[in-house]
Amino acid sequence: YGILMNCCCRTRRPELGLAFFGRVLRMGLRTNVVVATTVLQCLCGAKRTDEAVDILLHRMSELGCVPDDFSYNIVLKSLCDDSRSQRALDLLRMWENERGVCSPNVYTYNTVIHGFFKEGEVSKACNLFHEMAQKGVPPNVVTYSLTIDALCKARAMDKAQLFLRQMIHKGVRPNNVTYNVMIHGYCTLGQWKEAGKMFREMTRQGLIPDIVTWTSFMASLCKHGRTKEAAEFFDSMTAKGHKPDLVMYHVLLHGYATEGCFADMINLFNSMATKGTRSVSRCMDLFNSNICTLQNG
């Protein structure tokens, strides 16, 4: 019945899963941590976080199963998504004090750090960043990436750059996400030259820019009144058979709309039905030449 619960949860019918779970309990069937955690996922997916907290803290032990790290992390994420990261931190503290079989792991810290950054609680996020390392949970590529992202969004590109160097120094390899947030940060500020540097560093590491790299590049062009260049980039992409996704269309459509290019909008709208491929790896040279053009112009 765990599988059935999971289905209810994933098909966005949490109430079905919960009703079913209630029946299972009334029938006197035993449950275990995995199934109980699926119930937590159901509740959190239905934005019923408080009930999930209640089950986590009280009902699970009544049912004879001890919450594990997955159970906690799912509820913590839900609290953070509700912009209640401080409540999440309180729960994390309770968990630590229980001194049970498991303790907060890298997922836990990443979840709450991300929550604090999202709420603008920068110092609380930074405190946790330092705390996790002290407690023997080293920050990983996700921790660094979300921290760098927060710095970029605060327009603190120098600090973001320092964190990037620090992670490399500590042996944590940046990935696409890491470089994408850096490139996005520089492009947003119109610092095309710096963005180009990041792009080259990224490819030098053997990383292949993806649809997110291209989309944020195009969006920045549009925001700087250079929709025409974004459109050219887009056209050369599609001409090579790469299939843009919905977000990319939105970006360009919005760019056209802003500049009053309604005929182009209609054309693009009609071409959305055209087929293409998903691969974007061959866009690298395109991006490179675009960046070069921008630097020279």
Partner DNA sequence: ATAGGGTTAG
Part in contact with DNA (CB under 7 A); list of ranges 8-16, 86-94, 170-178, 189-197? 170-178
Residues 6+ apart with CB under 8 A from 69: 102, 103, 104, 105, 107, 108
Q: Which of 86, 103, 105, 236 binds DNA (CB under 7 A)?
A: 105
The single residue listed with the structure tokens 């890298």 is 106
Under the criterion CB under 7 A, does residue 229 sit at the interface with DNA?
Answer: no
Q: Between 217 and 296, whose beta carbon lies closer to DNA?
A: 217
Q: Which of 107, 116, 234, 256 binds DNA (CB under 7 A)?
A: 107
Q: Which of 7, 16, 33, 261 binds DNA (CB under 7 A)?
A: 33
Work out how close the CB of 165 gets to DNA at its nearest, in angstroms, rounded to a whole number: 16
Q: Which of 87, 159, 223, 240 binds DNA (CB under 7 A)?
A: 223
CA distances from 162 to 86, 159, 166, 167 (A): 27, 5, 6, 9
How many residues line the site for DNA (CB under 7 A)?
A: 48
Under the criterion CB under 7 A, does residue 142 sit at the interface with DNA?
Answer: yes
Under the criterion CB under 7 A, does residue 251 sit at the interface with DNA?
Answer: yes
Residues 6+ apart with CB under 8 A from 68: 33, 37, 101, 102
Work out how close the CB of 144 gets to DNA at its nearest, in angstroms, rounded to a whole number: 7
Structure tokens at 233: 């980039």
Which stretch of DSSP H or E encloses residue 107?
A: helix 106-118
End-to-end, the C-alpha distance of the chain in Å comes to 63
Under the criterion CB under 7 A, does residue 85 sit at the interface with DNA?
Answer: no
Part in contact with DNA (CB under 7 A); list of ranges 10-18, 54-62, 64-72, 86-94? 64-72
Under the criterion CB under 7 A, does residue 52 sit at the interface with DNA?
Answer: no
Work out how close the CB of 296 gets to DNA at its nearest, in angstroms, rounded to a whole number: 25
Q: How far apart are CA 1 and CA 101, in angstroms?
A: 26
Work out how close the CB of 214 gets to DNA at its nearest, in angstroms, rounded to a whole number: 7
Part in contact with DNA (CB under 7 A); list of ranges 14-22, 72-80, 189-197, 228-236? 72-80
Q: How far apart are CA 222 and CA 220, in angstroms?
A: 5
Q: How far apart are CA 295 and CA 197, in angstroms?
A: 11
Q: How far apart are CA 48 and CA 46, in angstroms?
A: 5
The answer to whether 5 and 19 have CB atoms below 8 angstroms apart is no
Q: Which of 103, 127, 166, 175 binds DNA (CB under 7 A)?
A: 175
The answer to whether 191 and 155 have CB atoms below 8 angstroms apart is no
In 3D, which of 77, 4, 76, 66 has the Cα closest to residue 36? 66
Structure tokens at 197: 């540097």
Under the criterion CB under 7 A, does residue 149 sit at the interface with DNA?
Answer: yes
Under the criterion CB under 7 A, does residue 111 sit at the interface with DNA?
Answer: yes
Q: Between 85 and 216, whose beta carbon lies closer to DNA?
A: 216
Binding site for DNA (CB under 7 A): 33-34, 37-38, 68-71, 73-74, 77, 105-108, 110-111, 114, 140-143, 145-146, 149, 175-178, 180-181, 184, 210-216, 219, 223, 245-248, 250-251, 254
